[in-house]
Amino acid sequence: MGFTAKAKNKADKLTGQAKEQFGKITKNRSKQYEGKADQVKANLKDTAEKVKDTFRK
């Protein structure tokens, strides 16, 4: 996995966590769920990169 892809996935995950916390603080369920969705997307991208790396070896 390239460093840039890893960094982008981590940034996306942190952004999702921030949105989720913001949603909890403001009691905005929409933001909370949006943050959770962003985290799931980042995890899926990270997993896909790991799978690609496995098959490249």
Give the tens place of pLDDT for each residue, 3-57. 888 889 999 999 999 999 999 999 999 999 999 999 999 999 999 988 888 888 6
> Quick one: pLDDT at residue 52?
86
Contacts of 9 (CB under 8 A, 6+ apart): 42, 43, 45, 46, 49
| Domain boundary assignment for the chain | 3-56
Q: What angle do CA 16, 8, 13 make, to 5 degrees?
A: 20
Whole-model pTM: value is 0.83
The one-letter amino acid at 35: G
**pLDDT score for 53:** 83
Q: Give me the pLDDT at residue 1, please.
A: 58
Question: Does the pLDDT value for residue 2 go beyond 80?
Answer: no
Q: How far apart are CA 12 and CA 27, in angstroms?
A: 22
